[in-house]
């Protein structure tokens, strides 16, 4: 069944549109506007967290996200989105270690549903968490996360910026080539 | 949900039920789309999440506004601005004037041009999804199939667009597609507005292609370079009695500049199809009568 699904996905159509330099410029300027909506509080660990969270916790979780991405073949974009969700949640709510873990799991679960062609199932996480969290825990946390994020689910990520900058560079290169030819 | 007074039922959709309602704070009239969370084990349905993600990102006069999202028990309430009616009901229940039709066409294309400029596809343009406000403003609604073209490598579903409005490249299993799928659907909608019946009424994917080619004639490599190498390409035999979209619409006595607009959107080859911006530049929109938006005469 999974192979079938995979075959269906790899035969799925791709996008035929290419961004023009102008469109990339417009998107870049708009992204810096919307970025404000998606900005976590840079000092949330000291200013919001009051239940023992340290830099170490966040580091551990990002390493775990990386491992998950590797074993489940998730895109790095999804990881950036999940990290944004988690940071924004932690900018509003203080968490003890158990809730912190649940929020992390819910962030990657939510990001995979929003971004991935083959989203996670709750059962995957119940297994991954060794049964510490139930499907119901995850579902409730997901809702709490969504409300705290005010349903803003499309953060501009590092990749969004990089892709747009690459488009601009590419066009720039073409333009300079043309100028060179003419000269 | 204390922030809203829930009123009578407006309709049932694929995802749940829509209710009329009012925001307590200021009396704003809203439509409350109550979606079941789908599988209660899997949490919020991912298609609902993607619809919300899209609607939060695109704000435009010709795109329906998502006012709020409120979770409730096993489901979610998506709160939209209340709309008066939709293009399907206006088309089959009233007789819009030429100027109003022009207004609807312009607003549909403005909404699409905005989405495409933001690199987003709607993927389900049809009369029932074109909502009309109490002031007569047309807004694109139902973003269940909409998505961002994140990057050129993203894989996309070929199961989108309601059959009658689905473009030939999707039906032929093209390995890539773009904004042209929305503009084809828009062409079908505008032809339907002129004809007062759907343009291509197929019953299966294959029948849909047959219905299209009955009128346009089957495509060849000259009209649509690369068509014969598409994954699901089938050669259709030439029709003995070929009719073009242009003659069909002329026979129905549509204004010649309206016909030009529709024909530009219904090019079989997506590469030569008008974009929403091209279409808005057509003389149809500058000629008299000027496009107008008037309050619809009948409400839901």
- State residue A174's pLDDT score: 55
Give tens-digit pLDDT for A73-86. Answer: 888 889 999 999 99
Chain B hits for A14, Cβ within 8 Å: 152-156, 175-176
Binned at pLDDT 50, 70 and 90, residue B172 comes out as very high
Instruction: Write the pLDDT tens digit of every residue in A126-170.
Output: 888 888 899 889 989 999 999 999 999 989 888 788 888 888 888
How much is the pLDDT for A159?
79
Does the pLDDT value for residue B151 go beyond 90? no
- Rounded to an integer, the average pLDDT of B230-255 is 88
Residue numbers of B annotated as active site:
124
- Residue B153 to chain A, least CA–CA distance (Å): 6
Average pLDDT over residues B112-131: 93
Q: Calculate Rg over the CA atoms of chain B.
A: 20
Residue pLDDT, tens place only, A6-51:
555 555 667 777 777 887 887 788 787 788 889 999 999 999 999 9
pLDDT value of position A180: 47
Q: Is the dihedral of CA B208, B209, B210, B216 positive or negative?
A: positive
Give residue B152's pLDDT band: very low, low, confident or very high (50, 70, 90). Answer: very low
Question: What does A101-120 look like in DSSP terms, one character per residue?
Answer: HHHHHHHHHHHHHHH-SS--
Q: Which chain B residue has its CA at the smallest distance from A141's CA?
A: B43
- Decide if A139 and B149 are in contact by the 8 Å CB cutoff: no
Q: Which two tokens stand for residue B7?
A: 């009123």
Q: What is the pLDDT of residue B239?
A: 73
Cα distances (Å, whole numbers) of residue B12 to B15, B19, B47, B73, B89: 8, 9, 17, 19, 16
| pLDDT at res. B148 | 80
Minimal Cβ distance to B176: which of A16, A30, A117: A16
Nearest CA to CA, how far is A145 from chain B (Å)? 12
Inter-residue contact B205 to B171 (CB < 8 Å): yes
Instruction: Give A46 to chain B, closest Cα distance, Å.
Output: 30
Query: Among A18-32, A37-51, B55-69, B137-151, where is mean pLDDT lowest?
Result: A18-32
**Residue of A11, A14, A151 with shortest CB distance to B154:** A14
CA distance B111 to B132: 13
Residue B103 CB burial class (10 angstroms; 0-12, 13-18, ≥19): buried
| A8 in reach of chain B (CB within 8 A) | no
* Average pLDDT of chain B to the nearest whole number: 90
């Amino acid at each position: 069944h999974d192979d079938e699904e995979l075959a269906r996905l790899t035969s799925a159509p791709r996008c035929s549109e290419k961004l023009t330099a102008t469109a990339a410029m417009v998107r870049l300027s708009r992204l810096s506007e919307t970025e404000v909506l998606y900005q976590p509080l840079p000092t949330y660990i000291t200013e919001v967290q009051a239940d023992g969270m340290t830099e170490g916790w966040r580091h551990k979780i990002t390493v775990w996200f990386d491992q998950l991405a590797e074993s489940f073949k998730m895109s790095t974009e999804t990881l950036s989105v999940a990290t944004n969700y988690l940071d924004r949640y932690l900018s509003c709510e203080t968490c003890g270690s158990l809730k912190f873990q649940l929020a992390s799991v819910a962030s990657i679960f939510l990001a995979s549903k929003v971004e991935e062609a083959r989203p996670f199932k709750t059962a995957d996480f119940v297994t991954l968490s060794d049964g510490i969290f139930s499907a119901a825990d995850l579902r409730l946390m997901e809702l709490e996360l969504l409300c705290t994020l005010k349903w803003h689910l499309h953060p501009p990520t590092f990749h969004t910026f990089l892709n747009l900058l690459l488009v601009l560079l590419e066009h720039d290169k073409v333009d300079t080539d043309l100028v060179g030819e003419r000269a | 949900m204390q922030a809203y007074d829930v009123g009578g039922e407006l309709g049932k959709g694929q995802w749940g039920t829509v209710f009329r309602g009012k925001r307590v704070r200021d009396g704003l009239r809203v439509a409350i789309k109550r979606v079941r969370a789908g599988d209660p084990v899997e949490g919020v349905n991912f298609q609902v999440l993607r619809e919300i993600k899209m609607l939060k990102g695109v704000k435009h006069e010709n795109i329906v506004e998502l006012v709020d999202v409120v979770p409730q028990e096993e489901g979610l309430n998506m709160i939209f601005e209340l709309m008066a009616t939709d293009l399907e009901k206006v088309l089959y229940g009233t007789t819009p004037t030429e100027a109003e039709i022009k207004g609807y066409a312009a607003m549909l294309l403005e909404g699409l041009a905005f989405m495409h400029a933001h690199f987003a596809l709607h993927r389900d343009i049809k009369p029932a999804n074109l909502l009309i406000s109490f002031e007569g403003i047309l807004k694109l609604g139902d973003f269940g199939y909409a998505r961002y073209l994140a990057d050129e490598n993203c894989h996309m579903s070929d199961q989108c667009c309601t059959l009658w409005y689905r473009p030939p490249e999707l039906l032929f299993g093209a390995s890539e597609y773009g904004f042209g799928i929305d503009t084809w659907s828009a062409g079908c909608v505008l032809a339907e507005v002129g004809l007062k019946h759907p343009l291509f009424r197929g019953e299966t994917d294959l029948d849909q292609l047959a219905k299209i080619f009955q009128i346009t004639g089957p495509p060849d490599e000259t009209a649509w370079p690369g068509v014969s190498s598409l994954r699901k390409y089938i050669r259709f035999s030439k029709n003995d009695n070929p009719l073009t979209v242009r003659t069909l619409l002329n026979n129905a006595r549509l204004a010649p500049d309206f016909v030009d607009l529709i024909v530009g959107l219904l090019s079989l080859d997506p590469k030569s199809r008008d974009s929403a911006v091209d279409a808005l530049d057509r003389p149809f929109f500058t000629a008299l009568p000027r496009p107008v938006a008037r309050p619809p005469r009948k409400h839901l």
